[in-house]
Structure 1
Amino acid sequence: MTLIDILIFVIYLLGIVLFGSSFYRKNKTASAFTLGNNKVPTWVISLSILATFVSSISYLALPGQAFLSNWNVFVFSLSLPLASVIAVKFFVPLYRSINSPSAYTYLEKRFGPWAKTYASLMYLLTQLMRAGTILYLMALPLHALLGWNIVTIIIITGVSVMVYSLLGGIQAVMWTDAIQAIILIIGALVCIGVLMFSGTGEPEEIIRVALENQKFSLGSFSTDLTTSTFWVVLIYGLFINLQNFGIDQNYIQRYMSSKSDKAAQKSALYGGLLYVPVSALFLFIGTALFSYYKMNKGLLPAGVEGDEVFPYFIVNQLPTGLTGLLIASIFAAGMSTVSTSLNSSATVILTDFFKLSSNHSGVERKAMKVLYFSSFFFSIIGILIAIAMINVKSALDAWWKLASIFSGGMLGLFLLGYLAPKVKNKAAIIGTITGVLLIGWMSLSPIFFTDGALAKYSSPFHSYLSIVFGTTSIFIIGFFIGIVSNKLIRKQC
């Protein structure tokens, strides 16, 4: 990176921190910290939802997957319109009627404190791992480019996000999210422009080479459940996006921050739909990179492949200044996700684990202390996890997998409560335990049951289907146990 590239990146980082911190004066109450006093514009919330979807993982992984294979992962995005419409019609009105900053208040109302505690803890666990993973991945390209110490990069980035998230609250998070969403889209468009017009041949040649190698394929349309076919990815995407829109605090908190029910519905719809073309941009970058390096033989060194190709292109093929912009774009994607995790986790901790009476004197001061301390504590733990990933990545990968297993029951529990109003507490507990065990078997058995007689006990299904089968089993088992229990109670009466 040249001095100009470094300056562009540093100016971006300082600008985001200063801009986010400027909301401190508007962030003096718990309502301002968690919901922005319901004064955030709809377009800002929509872009914030988009930025929550796009992390630095997506920024690098989507081009890498398209470079290696095809557009099969785009089928995930194709499930978003249906999930967005369901959210607008059913989920947004539900949460707006409950009027709580926490997504898990609804589960407490339906099934009692255990449901809220289970969902809250699983959410916090997954967000810790998510924040740590993204901080680690954000540091890798800068470490490779400049040779800076990776621990130093993680600490500087983590502290920067913590400062503006803690000082500015949800308003700082969503406004910086909106800016970061614009930056990452501009960065993607710039890359496409360079790829299409700076190599040998015309843009038509880029498309021709990609078509000849079937790079735009959406995958097989067979009904095979052991590979990532079109149908497997589509149903997986639908369930994951229903989980995002239906039970993920990151999204529900944005519904609650809107000025009105109508504004919340628009935010959910536009934020979800925006991801479809944006993900297509990232995938097209990967496809164009494939054609670019095929037509420009010798530019890509042997051994550089997959997720490494896009960063290599950024460093070696982009003009001076654009490299700094693209590195800023990668950081924009990551910082928006981490800041969202910080604020939403602090909100969950205050709302779900602290009972502060509104009649008590000094309640606002105590609430703000909880929010500030939670944001600080969460940031420090996230930074430590990111640092730990440098040397013990395998152990943390296992932790991440376990967190995903336990949190996999959240969507099923939510749908059971929403779609089966007569199902009571015990049926929900049995259904949730069964579903989590099924998800655990489908996720872990391919790792442990690989050799000999144990191999027959390994799940034959693609890992994408674990949340599909787990969620479905929670609902079906909970529903039917609830029906049987209700009939037995009526007979006894």
Structure 2
Amino acid sequence: MNYIDWIVLFGTLISIVSYGVYKTRGSQTIQGYLKGDNSMKWWMIGVSIMATQASAITFLSTPGQAIEDGMRFIQFYFGLPLAMVIISVTMVPIYYRLKVYTAYEYLESRFDLKTRTLAAILFLILRGLSAGITLYAPAIVLSTILGWNIFATTSLIGLFVIVYTVSGGTKAVSITQRQQMTIIMSGMFLAGFVAYSMLPESLSFGETLSLAGELGKFNIVNVLPSDIEQNLPEGVATVGELSLFQKVNLILSDRYNIWTGLIASTFLFLSYFGTDQSQVSRYLGGKSIRESRMGLIFNGLLKIPMQFLILFIGVLVYVFFLFNQPPVFHNTSLYQRAMQTSSQTELVALEQEYKNVLDQKEVSTKRLVKAIENEDELVKKSARAEVLAYQQQEKEIRDKVKASIAKAVPGSKTQDRDYIFLNFVLTYLPHGIIGLLLAVMFSAAMSSMASELNALASTTTVDIYKRSFNADATDKHYVKASRSFTLMWALLAMVFAMLAGFAENLIQFVNIVGSLFYGTILGIFLCAFYVKRVHGTAVFWAALLAEAVVLYCYLFTDLAFLLYNIIGCMLVVVVSLIVQGFIKKEITT
């Protein structure tokens, strides 16, 4: 980076923070601070919802997901439009009719205080952890660029968010998100254009798509796991020989396919957008039910194309690296630390072996491109097999490098998928654009974290502090309390980001954390909305059992994490009906 990049980056961030503070100065009522005076129009709601969901993790981690795993992650969002319709029809009118500040207020009127408090606590744990992950993503970016300690970079970014979120509350979050989404979308379109322009001139757009498709990167819809042929059970030669039970078992253990996308992710999105205060607060600030519904539908229609674009940029970067050698390990600062140890000799040898494989792979890639141009199926098949074989050798060498780094730097995170796109930006893009794309990542992080902190503060103030500790204070007191809780959660998120290491790819990890709690929370709300015969005590105990089962599945089974949402939700509904039956029998006898 040079001075132009720094000017673009910090000029953008400081402008956003200053604008948010200026436009929302003087918020003194709890209505204004937590709901933004119900002044948001539908397009502002839609943008705010998208900006809340699209954190820096989205732009830092998703292209790396596509580079290593192809486009199949897009299936994760297939249930989103359906969830938006259900929420718009069923949940939004209830929230508006009750004039609630948080989603969990409704639970007390429907059930009791303990059920409301349990749902609020589950949300606080979930969103508190997620806020730390959201902050961690841009912190590792700045740490990589500057060579600073993660403590320093986390503190710097956290301070930016604290300034305008504590000052202006919900309104400040919503106002700044408009500018942030403009920067985000323009920056990602530009990244896609630049990535394509850097491919070999002889490679047309159609040939680029064909090349990526031949190498398995356009696996957009998968009925069965995309790598099923490489993971057939012992004694099974072809997919056709699998029994129905074996096919179902493979689907259930696969994270991304059409079934988890349409069914399991619908449950996740129903819970996220319908019961998560970070999203509910976005549309509770709407001018009317109609504006809120339109904002939700707008998000449902636009989110999938947006994710497709980001994944497609990852595919373009993948094709770029077929003709340009990527580093053997993408976290360059950690790699340099390992090179200062006794593992240097081993790493140098592995890097040379890696370069030799890449040279051979490039020759086979050019042969594959020629076969695509000539429509020579026989050569195409053999060249594709060669490229895939070299890719497997690459992976094996990279695994050895990671093992060597883990030995050289104990406790280090050797999953470097989150650094792939960052390295591409810093190494190959022109100055100015580097600063803009980093501003995209930071803007997304600030936007998402600000929404999370605002939701955490709202829930803590309304559902815990005001309801159970201080019910008769003035509006001014609750605004001060909300600001204090915002600061408290920001500091906790910063501590979590500083101390935690995330072994998973970040975009997956944040969804795994959500899936651990969203199913149970959704089950509570579904009972509240639709199962009128069930009362608070039954739902409370059912929710505790469901959460215990979900945590067991995560710790001790190989189930795909999206299925946790179905398991948690269905257990709450079914067990609460059973428990309610026993309670009625006891009362009768």
Task: Tell me the TM-score normalised to structure 1 length.
Answer: 0.90
> Partners in 2 of 1:362 and 1:355 — Cα distance?
8
Aligned pairs for 1:83-94 within 5 A: 83-94=83-94
For 1:155, the equivalent position in structure 2 comes to: 155
For 1:315, the equivalent position in structure 2 comes to: 426
> Partners in 2 of 1:314 and 1:185 — Cα distance?
16
After superposition, give the CA deviation of every residue in 1:49-72 in whole Å (9 maximum; x if it has no partner).
001111111212211111112222
Shift of 1:400: 11
For 2:570, the equivalent position in structure 1 comes to: 472
For 2:234, the equivalent position in structure 1 comes to: none
Shift of 1:257: 0.5
2:481 aligned with 1:370, yes or no?
yes
Shift of 1:25: 2.9
For 1:326, the equivalent position in structure 2 comes to: 437
CA distance 1:34–1:401, change in 2 (3 Å): same
After superposition, give the CA deviation of every residue in 1:161-210 in whole Å (9 maximum; x if it has no partner).
01100111111101111211221111110111012222202322321211
> Partners in 2 of 1:260 and 1:237 — Cα distance?
28
Aligned pairs for 1:88-487 within 5 A: 88-200=88-200, 201-222=203-224, 223=248, 224-228=251-255, 229-294=257-322, 296-298=323-325, 300-304=326-330, 306-355=417-466, 363-389=474-500, 405=516, 408-445=519-556, 459-483=557-581, 485-486=583-584
- Tell me which moved more, 479-488 or 310-319: 479-488
For 2:56, the equivalent position in structure 1 comes to: 56
> Partners in 2 of 1:121 and 1:406 — Cα distance?
10
Partner SS, residue 532 of structure 2? coil
Shift of 1:415: 0.8
2:23 aligned with 1:20, yes or no?
no
Note if contact 1:95-1:252 (Cα within 8 Å) is conserved in structure 2. no
> Partners in 2 of 1:5 and 1:285 — Cα distance?
21
CA distance 1:475–1:362, change in 2 (3 Å): closer
Letter in 2 for 1:301: P
Larger radius of gyration: 2
Letter in 2 for 1:307: D
Note if contact 1:48-1:271 (Cα within 8 Å) is conserved in structure 2. no
Note if contact 2:515-2:561 (Cα within 8 Å) is conserved in structure 1. no
Shift of 1:485: 4.4
Note if contact 1:49-1:272 (Cα within 8 Å) is conserved in structure 2. no
Q: How many residues align?
A: 471
Letter in 2 for 1:297: N
Task: Tell me the TM-score normalised to structure 2 length.
Answer: 0.75
CA distance 1:432–1:186, change in 2 (3 Å): same
Note if contact 1:35-1:257 (Cα within 8 Å) is conserved in structure 2. yes
Partner SS, residue 91 of structure 1? helix
CA distance 1:355–1:293, change in 2 (3 Å): closer
Partner SS, residue 302 of structure 2? helix
Letter in 2 for 1:462: A
Shift of 1:9: 0.5
Note if contact 1:129-1:400 (Cα within 8 Å) is conserved in structure 2. no
Letter in 1 for 2:158: G
> Partners in 2 of 1:469 and 1:232 — Cα distance?
13
> Partners in 1 of 2:531 and 2:467 — Cα distance?
32
* RMSD between aligned residues: 2.5
After superposition, give the CA deviation of every residue in 1:41-91 in whole Å (9 maximum; x if it has no partner).
322221010011111112122111111122221111111110011111111
> Partners in 2 of 1:61 and 1:241 — Cα distance?
20
Shift of 1:406: 5.1
Partner SS, residue 25 of structure 1? coil
Partner SS, residue 466 of structure 2? coil
CA distance 1:487–1:383, change in 2 (3 Å): same
Note if contact 1:101-1:253 (Cα within 8 Å) is conserved in structure 2. yes
CA distance 1:75–1:317, change in 2 (3 Å): same
Unaligned runs of 5+ in 1: 446-458
Shift of 1:471: 1.1
CA distance 1:402–1:139, change in 2 (3 Å): closer
> Partners in 2 of 1:27 and 1:319 — Cα distance?
42
Identity %: 28
Unaligned runs of 5+ in 2: 225-247, 331-415
CA distance 1:463–1:25, change in 2 (3 Å): closer
Letter in 2 for 1:210: A
CA distance 1:248–1:45, change in 2 (3 Å): same
For 2:40, the equivalent position in structure 1 comes to: 40
